[in-house]
């Protein structure tokens, strides 16, 4: 079979002539022959398969630079790369879906102000933090108040002041009467204030470049809990005896799990499991996950630094949360479990119960 005209090749590959000209200019899909006089492009029949692959990858939304890389690989490697790309796309979609849910829930809220007096629900809470059995100092900060719950896990030489600064920057949220219509703006401002506070705390220390903190916090609105999450502290919900993790780690290893490069089981012992992709600190990506949770009487929330789940299985965490009576007791028991497992890291816990208010 002879060479195909650009029109025939466009029809066979499901790519427009305009797209073929662009891909030629980018070196992605050069024609087999270009007439030196007319500049007319002709393509070989065996180029159709590559062109169709390019067309399908474009339909997936893959950038042209990455398509060029995929097309340079053998079939097995190309398949792996496509799986990685799509896993990342699904993770990004899930993050946007959470933000959409937050916005919809925020806009549908009818109460004119978030005040405890208009809601039949309240929270009981406790916080605790321990250095563990290995670390010389405690770089975690845990806080629980009538509206704000927060855990921050500092890292680097200035980790302790960084985590304290992040939580202190949010304490103004304890103030009553935040208008419901301003919730999203208030949370965005709070993250920015925490970021500035951490930068200020770290830059006054001896090692600004490698210090910062994670932050996971919840704001009680009177009938809902608004979540702010950056890093690898975690938030769990115990509802009807079932334990649900409601945060997603912002770590290199979690990204590898999302992309299908390693399994969740392999992630537990991976040497890069503590390497963050989002955090508060100089030069870090401080993009926060935001989420709203409708409160139900009987719910129990746990916020914890990664020193707890690193050594205590989810089944044991669920057992303690389901069995311990008061939040203070649950906090003590969870910290004791982490230390009984060797206490290799600082461990902090905040437990909050949603209760009916008479």
DSSP secondary structure, 332-348, as one string: HHHHHHHHHTT--S-EE
Of 163-167, 246-250, 257-261, 282-286, where does mean pLDDT reach its minimum? 257-261
- pLDDT for residue 84: 84
Which is higher by pLDDT, 164 or 221?
A: 164
- pLDDT for residue 180: 66
**C-beta separation of 238 from 302 below 8 A:** yes
Cβ-based neighbour number of residue 220 at 10 Å: 26
Tell me which range, 116-125, 291-300, 340-349, is most confidently predicted by mean pLDDT.
340-349
Pair type for strands 41-43 and 289-294: unpaired
Which is higher by pLDDT, 202 or 271?
A: 202
Mean pLDDT of 213-233: 93
Q: How many CA atoms lie within 13 A of 244 on its CB side?
A: 11
Confidence of residue 206 (pLDDT cuts 50, 70, 90): low
As a whole number, the mean pLDDT across the chain is: 88
Mean pLDDT of 64-75: 89
- pLDDT for residue 1: 60
- pLDDT for residue 237: 95
Q: What is the pTM of this model?
A: 0.73
Using the predicted structure, report yes or no on whether residue 249 has a pLDDT greater than 90.
Answer: yes
- pLDDT for residue 274: 78
Of 29-33, 59-63, 168-172, 236-240, where does mean pLDDT reach its minimum? 59-63
Q: Which residues contact 354 (CB under 8 A, 6 or more apart)?
A: 121, 122, 123, 295, 296, 297, 298, 299, 300, 301
Confidence of residue 165 (pLDDT cuts 50, 70, 90): very high
Q: How far are the Cα atoms of 46, 50, 66, 76, 285 from residue 55, in angstroms, in the given order?
A: 15, 9, 13, 19, 33
Mean pLDDT of 67-81: 89
**C-beta separation of 112 from 331 below 8 A:** no
Mean pLDDT of 229-255: 93
Mean pLDDT of 42-53: 90
Residue 135 backbone zone (phi > 0: left; psi -120 to 50: alpha; other: beta): beta
Using the predicted structure, report yes or no on whether residue 184 has a pLDDT greater than 70.
Answer: yes
Give, as one character, the DSSP assignment of residue 194.
Answer: H
- pLDDT for residue 136: 93
Round to whole Å and give the CA distance between 243 and 230.
21
Confidence of residue 134 (pLDDT cuts 50, 70, 90): very high
Using the predicted structure, report yes or no on whether residue 30 has a pLDDT greater than 60.
Answer: yes
Using the predicted structure, report yes or no on whether residue 127 has a pLDDT greater than 90.
Answer: yes
Q: Which residues pair with 121 in a beta bridge?
A: 356
Percent over 70 (pLDDT), the chain = 92
Using the predicted structure, report yes or no on whether residue 199 has a pLDDT greater than 80.
Answer: yes
- pLDDT for residue 326: 96
Confidence of residue 114 (pLDDT cuts 50, 70, 90): very low
Dump pLDDT digits (tens) for 302-316. 999 999 999 999 999
Using the predicted structure, report yes or no on whether residue 41 has a pLDDT greater than 60.
Answer: yes
Dump pLDDT digits (tens) for 13-25. 888 898 898 888 8
- pLDDT for residue 176: 67
Round to whole Å and give the CA distance between 204 and 72.
48
Using the predicted structure, report yes or no on whether residue 117 has a pLDDT greater than 50.
Answer: no
Of 16-25, 108-117, 152-161, 251-260, where does mean pLDDT reach its minimum? 108-117
């Amino acid at each position: 079979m002879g060479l195909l005209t650009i029109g025939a090749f466009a029809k066979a590959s499901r790519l427009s002539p305009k797209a073929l000209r662009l891909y030629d200019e980018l070196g992605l899909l050069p024609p087999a022959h270009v007439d030196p006089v007319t500049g007319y492009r002709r393509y070989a029949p065996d180029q159709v398969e590559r062109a169709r692959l390019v067309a399908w990858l474009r339909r997936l939304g893959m950038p042209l630079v990455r398509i060029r890389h995929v097309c340079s690989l053998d079939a097995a490697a190309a398949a792996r790369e496509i799986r990685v790309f799509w896993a990342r796309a699904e993770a990004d979609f899930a993050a946007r879906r959470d933000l959409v849910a937050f916005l919809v829930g925020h806009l549908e809220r009818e109460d004119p102000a978030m005040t405890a007096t208009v809601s039949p629900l309240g929270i009981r809470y406790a916080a605790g933090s321990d250095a563990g059995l290995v670390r010389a100092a405690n770089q975690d900060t845990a806080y629980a108040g009538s509206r704000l719950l927060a855990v921050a896990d500092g890292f680097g030489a200035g980790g302790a002041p960084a985590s304290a600064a992040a939580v202190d920057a949010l304490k103004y949220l304890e103030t009553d009467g935040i208008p419901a219509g301003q919730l999203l703006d208030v949370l965005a401002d709070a993250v920015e204030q925490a970021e500035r506070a951490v930068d200020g705390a770290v830059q006054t220390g001896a090692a600004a470049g490698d210090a910062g903190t994670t932050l996971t916090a919840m704001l009680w609105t009177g009938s809902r809990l608004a979540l702010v999450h950056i890093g690898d502290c975690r938030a769990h919900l115990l509802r009807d005896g079932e334990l649900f993790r409601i945060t997603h780690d912002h770590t290199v290893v979690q990204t590898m799990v999302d992309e299908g490069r390693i399994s969740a089981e392999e992630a537990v012992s991976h040497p890069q499991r503590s390497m963050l992709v989002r955090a508060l600190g100089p030069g870090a990506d401080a993009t926060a996950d935001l989420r709203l949770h409708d409160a139900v009487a009987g719910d129990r929330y746990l916020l914890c630094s990664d020193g707890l789940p690193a050594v205590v299985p989810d089944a044991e965490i669920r057992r303690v949360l389901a069995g311990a009576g008061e939040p203070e007791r649950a906090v003590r028991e969870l910290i004791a479990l982490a230390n009984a497992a060797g206490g290799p890291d600082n461990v902090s816990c905040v437990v909050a119960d949603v209760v009916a208010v008479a």
